[in-house]
Chain A
């Protein structure tokens, strides 16, 4: 039985994912330093917008979160292709974790958007092109997570997830195009928010700081999430080894 117990003992000694590496600590520090900076930029440094007033400050969070939403789902797409192509479990974990974070960010985009829309447009929600396509995007990736949860076999769940990760992302531009056409044919109920081309440099700077903070946060959460996943995998392996020793 020593044949099977040896790798188990080895495993316990050298598990790279057990503790956080120095660069993960550096990432954590950078993330938690950049968020106060982003808050300062949004609430103090950036000038108050002339028309919308302080309400507009939600822009410094809404836009970076929206950007991360697209980044997360792009990562799901790329990792899904790599999984079907190379078949490494790490690609599957990357896709799944990025989808989870992406759904959180999409939910936040919808919520911050509604909070912004209520005082400015006077309504929580309108079936505007961008809002509608974001909602559909949210639905696609919530279904992705459900599909993962409902697949009993792990390898099969990974393959199905990868397929939906690819199909879902390929659908995004078509959804956006169809929804935009759909809305431009009907009367436009609200003023578009696309007036930000001439953003004052201070506003742009505050937004970029926030963008950096949220991107660091994404990478940090992602790495921690992956660490937990690989620890889970290790626990399963150890349990299987113990099972076979008994």
Chain B
């Protein structure tokens, strides 16, 4: 059998191919993220005087809500097609399944963010996308996707699965949301990098701890 990276690559390629052929997930996520930006513009009546305080939160609500859409499909798709059993019966490492799904979800969310972030910047008149902002978005997304991928596998096997996924993810990912929003606000406000460094460190810590923890416990979620 192929090596561990080979397995991850094959599984990731399979997911990308499925998405390229069905186009079920990505388009919906992008449109949804853009709509969230528009809806929040009405909800908060964003003007020049309050946009700095509210906009970072709006951005992360758009990212996480769109992320939930993608994460929800990630395992439900496998289960509904009966492909999950095949996947588990295949002579591959269970960890490879988690890692491939995580990378796939990360990729989908990154594509959504790559489209929604420039739109957000221009809608709300923030200068330009800095490297710092890109780093914050990436780190926040990794943490969110790490716990989200694990919970997606759990939610797929429970009743009321569309409800279970978000209510499992949101309380656990509170640190990610707080750190991402605060760091984004600092970055958009033009504060020096040193100020948001504490939040970035928190994101890195969360990503590492929960990346490893979810990878380890994933075996228990899919064993049967």
Contacts and interface: CB of A to CB of B under 8 A. Distances in A.
Contacts of A175: 174-175
Contacts of B167: 143, 146
Nearest to A139: B171
Nearest to B160: A150
B132 to A, nearest CB: 18
Interface string A163-207: 110111011001101110110010000000000000000000000
A185 B182 contact: yes
B202 interface: yes
Contacts of A153: 157
B158 interface: yes
B172 A168 contact: yes
Interface residues of B, number: 32
Given A150-B164, A151-B158, A159 B175 contact: no
A178 B202 CA distance: 8
B212 to A, nearest CB: 10
Nearest to B158: A150
A152 B217 contact: no
B54 to A, nearest CB: 14
Interface in B159-196: 159-160, 164, 167-168, 170-172, 174-175, 178-179, 182
B172 A160 contact: no
Interface SS of chain A: helix
Contacts of A156: 157, 224
B126 interface: no
B147 interface: yes
Nearest to B199: A181
A171 B220 contact: no
A192 to B, nearest CB: 20
A140 B157 contact: no
B214 interface: yes
B213 interface: yes
Interface stretch (B44-52, B80-88, B203-211): B203-211
B209 A147 contact: no
Contacts of A152: 158-159
Contacts of B220: 84, 159, 162-163
A136 interface: yes
A65 B159 CA distance: 33
Contacts of A139: 170-171
A150 B178 CA distance: 29
Contact of A178 (B170, B178, B221, B223): B178
A160 B154 contact: yes
Given A163-B221, A170-B213, A178-B179, A143 B171 contact: yes
Contact of A177 (B164, B175, B182): B175
A32 to B, nearest CB: 36
Given A136-B171, A143-B171, A182-B178, A160 B158 contact: yes
B208 to A, nearest CB: 11
Nearest to A151: B158
Contacts of B159: 150-152
A209 to B, nearest CB: 34
Interface of A: 84, 136, 139-140, 143, 146-147, 150-153, 156, 159-160, 162-164, 166-168, 170-171, 174-175, 177-179, 181-182, 185
Closest 10 CB pairs of A and B: A178-B175, A139-B171, A150-B158, A150-B159, A140-B171, A174-B175, A178-B178, A163-B217, A160-B154, A182-B178
11 contacts: A140-B172, A146-B164, A146-B167, A147-B158, A150-B160, A160-B158, A163-B220, A168-B171, A174-B175, A174-B206, A174-B209
